[in-house]
Amino acid sequence: MNNHRYLSGLFSIIFFGGLLLFSGLTANGSAGITGMSGGTEATDTDDRFEKGMDHYRNAQFDSAAYFFSGLETPEAKLFLGKSYFALSEYPKAKNKLRQLTRDDDPRLHDEARYTLSLADFQTRQYGKSLDKLYNLKSRPAYQDLHEDAEILYDQIIGYLTTGQRRKAFMQSEYPRVQFDLLRYGLDYMARPEASELYSTLENYFHDTIDTNMVAALKRRIDRLPEQRSASARYGPAPEGIVYNIGVLLPETESESREWRVARSLYNGYLLAAEEFNRENDDKHIRLHHVTTSDTALTNKAAMAKMAWKYHADAVIGPLFSEAAYEIRDLAEYYQIPVIPPLANADTLNIENPYIYQINPTFEVRGKAMARFAVNKLELDTLAVITQSNQPVVREAQAFRNEAEKLGAKVVHYFSENFEETAFDVDHITPWFARSERHLGRGVDPDDYPLVPIKGLYLSVTGSGSDQLIDIILTDLQANRSEVTILGNEEMSHVDLSDDRRRYFDIYYSDFFHTDEDKRATRRFQDNYQSLTGSGADNFAHLGYDVATYLFKSLTELQNPGRIKPRLRHLPEYEGVITNIDFQGSHINNYLHFLHVTRDETILYVPEKDEDEDDEDEDNGDNDGNTDE
């Protein structure tokens, strides 16, 4: 399909002359204003229109809209509507485009109707969009417009999920459009479903559709398999589609830590969007950012704006768990998938199919470390030290439960509020002495009947965690312990001396890890430097990964309506700082595992669990935004 008509109304920085085929177009691409006599008024109007067209050609749609908005000519109304459409201001675009009538100019009217069909498509009014396209392609019209309408009609018909197809069927006023919606949808139906639907609509179609076509439809239904084919694929997105992605950013004081984190993440999103748009000439990402605060009222307003003004296909944000709790019910209410980049609360997405957590929860982290320790390192006797007053205790509990499920024995489990005791661990560390003769002075061996412990998991967090880890390692070294040390990302913040690196065998998990030798990482860092004039921190890397993952998923799924049921089943994404693999859940299950050696930190890649690769049933629901 020649998608110039769609693209130039959306985002193309190139002016496509094919859009200016109405009467009055001059040889140099400027439009003469019809119905105007000579004189100052006509000259001023011409000048204003020309300025608007200059901005429109250069994709400066805000400025173009400013100049067009002061004019009442049909041409100006058309391009004002197109400018609003390019800015994703769909209600404004529709309002202006509807003002053109066939009495103004048939060509202008048809151009307006075509753009209206695009606006209907972008706002998920698929039935209305198809009706307009059917009308344009079914009656005598300008040849190129007729062909474009026919091609776009077929693309939309094949693109819709079953839920969207059902909604479009109810919206459409044309029996032939309804017939086509059913006919094209047979590829995704089993025979019992299709037969029941046909019997319901048979009389209606016999009264409105050619009987030969109805008979052909019945024969095709009779040949359908009893079960829906798992290999049936939905059609690709219409060429020129815009994916509207919302971004929720916190309202914070400039230069605060939260402000710097948000800025880095957003710059990462921007870079990913620019890269996507540069590499794809048939689809486009448009970001819409809205600031939020800690109040439920502003979060509700932000999500309402995402739903009603921007028609967001997905939302990245909010940043942290507290705000994400405010958003999660709204995500389900508006049926918009929400991807918070940093939130890691264990209870955030319970029974909520619209929340996808990139940052693994404490429970996921604990299970992952247990699998790594038992399956990869073959440690079958373990111990745990954790903080009873911190959320990380859930990580420790998950570690113990998963390790025991895998057949390992957790010999010791210490859960205490170490802050209350000034990080006293003298009653714990003797359990890990190499032998009785290595117990500290004054320690009664009868109080510590030693058993071999192969691995010790230090599941700690918070402002004093590095101090606690330091004290534990000091005591263990004094007791000549041979236990393998396991940790979480707090271990990366501990100052490990050369002596400790030589003495201990240390492994820890981390959400972040950057491979500076990887080509993709170097390319991102160079591009980020060019974009911002500064180096990329961890959050900039993460923002790029989260956005790139979402954009690649849209390329794979084509239809944003498939994000909710399918995102959790997509293959693992390998990023510049983190990998993303939902493994059939709504929580990223991937963590990096690192081994601290004398000279360097080595990245380990954990083995995947085969039993977590479940299949998507695609049963669908009634929201028109699912695979079904």
Per-residue pLDDT reduced to its tens digit, 391-427: 999 999 999 999 999 999 999 999 999 999 999 999 9
Ranges in the chain annotated CATH 1.25.40.10: 4-222
Per-residue pLDDT reduced to its tens digit, 274-287: 999 999 999 999 99
Q: What does the pLDDT read at residue 437?
A: 74
Q: What does the pLDDT read at residue 618?
A: 42
| Average confidence (pLDDT) over 262-283 | 96
| Contact between 127 and 167 (Cβ < 8 Å) | yes
> Among the listed ranges 64-73, 432-441, 571-580, which one has the minimum average pLDDT value?
432-441
Asked if residue 202 has pLDDT above 80, the reply is no
Which among 46, 79, 48 has a CA at the least distance from the CA of 65?
79
**Confidence band, pLDDT 50/70/90 cuts, at residue 153:** very high
Burial 155-185 (b: 16+ CB within 10 A, else e): bbbbbbbbbbbbbbbebbeeebbbbbbbbbb
How do 241-250 and 283-292 pair as beta strands? Answer: parallel
Cα separation, 216 vs 201, in Å, equals 15
| Average confidence (pLDDT) over 55-75 | 94
State which fold the 4-222 domain adopts.
Answer: 1.25.40
DSSP state of 392: T
Q: Which residue has the tokens 């079914």?
A: 138
Of the two residues 507 and 190, the one the predictor is more confident about is 507
Cα separation, 475 vs 470, in Å, equals 9
Cα separation, 73 vs 141, in Å, equals 22
**Confidence band, pLDDT 50/70/90 cuts, at residue 321:** confident
Q: Output Rg (C-alpha) for the chain, integer angstroms.
A: 31
Per-residue pLDDT reduced to its tens digit, 111-123: 999 999 999 999 9
Tokens matching residue 96? 């202006």
> Among the listed ranges 14-28, 364-378, 470-484, 534-548, which one has the minimum average pLDDT value?
14-28
| Contact between 120 and 129 (Cβ < 8 Å) | yes
Q: What does the pLDDT read at residue 14?
A: 26
| Contact between 462 and 390 (Cβ < 8 Å) | yes
User: Who's near 10: CB < 8 A, 6+ residues apart?
Assistant: 85, 86, 118, 240, 242, 284
Q: Which residue has the tokens 């929720």?
A: 248
Secondary structure class of 299 (helix, strand, coil): helix
- Quote the percentage of the chain above a pLDDT of 70: 87
The CATH number given to 362-510 is: 3.40.50.2300
Q: What does the pLDDT read at residue 185?
A: 80
**Confidence band, pLDDT 50/70/90 cuts, at residue 192:** confident
Of the two residues 200 and 242, the one the predictor is more confident about is 242
> Among the listed ranges 199-208, 353-362, 615-624, which one has the minimum average pLDDT value?
615-624
Ranges in the chain annotated CATH 3.40.50.2300: 243-356+519-569, 362-510
Tokens matching residue 75? 């041409």
Cα separation, 104 vs 94, in Å, equals 17
CATH architecture of 243-356+519-569: 3-Layer(aba) Sandwich (3.40)
How do 381-387 and 338-339 pair as beta strands? Answer: unpaired
Helix ranges (H only) for 70-210 are 74-86, 90-97, 106-122, 126-138, 143-159, 162-171, 175-185, 191-208
pTM of the model: 0.85
Average pLDDT, the chain: 86
Asked if residue 600 has pLDDT above 80, the reply is yes
- Indicate the helix (H) or strand (E) that contains 5: helix 4-8
